[in-house]
Copies of this chain bind each other. A is one copy, B any other.
Amino acid sequence: MSLPEDVIQGSRLAISRLLTQVENNTPEGRQVLDFLFPYTGKAHLIGVTGPPGSGKSSLVNQLAKEYRQSGGAGGRTRQVGILAVDPSSPFSGGAILGDRVRMRDLAGDPGVFIRSMASRGALGGLSASTSAAAQVLDAAGFEIILIETVGAGQAEVDIARLAHTTLVIEAPGLGDEIQAIKAGILEIADIIVLNKSDQAGADAAERALRSMLELAHPLPHVFDSHHGTTVIQQVKETAGWITPIHRTIATEGKGISELIQWIAHHAKYLHDSTEWLRREHARWQATLDELLRESLVARWRSSVPEERYREIVQRMVARSISPWRAVDLLTDKKDA
């Protein structure tokens, strides 16, 4: 059989090979993805983000186990893909470590597929390769895809936008500075999970989260495609969905099956409203924009001699031409 057919059949070896090609952005990988694309669209993509120390990895493991054992709300077990994305690690390493810890818990279950994604030094390319990896798992029949991001910065917010449902994980006592971060990521949360909820300060943390949620002004989702860059205003339409705060203790498996019910509720809400379609639109538009950027730059690069480019940079360093003038020289008037 061919690689795409093997992936559709769920061959782990084929999936692994394709994911490597996807990460390395090979022409063959793109071709296979192209072929597989019509087979995608069945998976529920669940983003899991939150500050360091909130216990995201444990929670993701517990969710995977529960989906495999009880099948969650529907009673039907489903295959679970886990993409562990680490944007803070341009040199990789961190995510791989977390992976080994996971292997102990979930190893040997053929219904679970785990992959670490590091940014490999490519600015802005990580959300494209995560999107592509999710397509591979989707085509391979993984109906639940958990996309976990390490950290809580802009890159994580971008990646969360890939998901249909976004869980933001918090925990008591993560310090003051984290409060500032929360303000940004709370607004992308469909479900807020207060993990480690047996620890001191849990009630205070829940109150703080609740008042921050109330402060977060609901705005309609705007996707300004004329802006040159992708606008992130993935703000909740609170009319239809009130973001719940759900307590868990992931290390003891507490609150996990209820969390899966919340996720199922959210999926139902997405389908019953126009929200699922709207998110699909936003997701593919973002993916398209990123690929377009990449394609336009690559095409331009091949049209400008490397020497010319280096000379222009040299003149910028000498402060003899400004960056904007350099862009003009390199695009408008190549013979200037």
A292 contacts B297, C-beta separation under 8 Å: yes
Q: Residue among A230, A297, A312, A314 with the most chain B CB within 10 A?
A: A297
Please encode chain A, from 102 to 141, with 1 for each CB lying within 8 Å of some chain B CB and 0 for all others: 0000000000000000010111111000000000000000
A319 proximity list for chain B (CB < 8 A)? 37-38, 40-41
A291 contacts B327, C-beta separation under 8 Å: yes
A94 contacts B324, C-beta separation under 8 Å: no
Q: Which range contains the number of A residues in contact with the other chain?
A: 35 or more
Identical chains bound together, number: 2
Within 8 A of B (CB), among A135-162: 150-158
Task: State the majority secondary structure of interface residues on A.
Answer: helix
A71 proximity list for chain B (CB < 8 A)? none
Please encode chain A, from 296 to 336, with 1 for each CB lying within 8 Å of some chain B CB and 0 for all others: 11111100001001001110110111111111001100000
A242 on interface, CB distance cutoff 8 Å = no
- Report the Cα distance A229→B126, complex, angstroms: 11
B155 contacts A34, C-beta separation under 8 Å: no
- Using a CB–CB distance below 8 Å, which chain A residues touch chain B? 30, 33-34, 37-38, 40-41, 51-53, 56-57, 86-91, 93-95, 97-98, 119, 121-126, 150-158, 174-178, 180-181, 183-185, 187, 216, 225-233, 235, 277, 280-281, 284-285, 287-289, 291-301, 306, 309, 312-314, 316-317, 319-327, 330-331
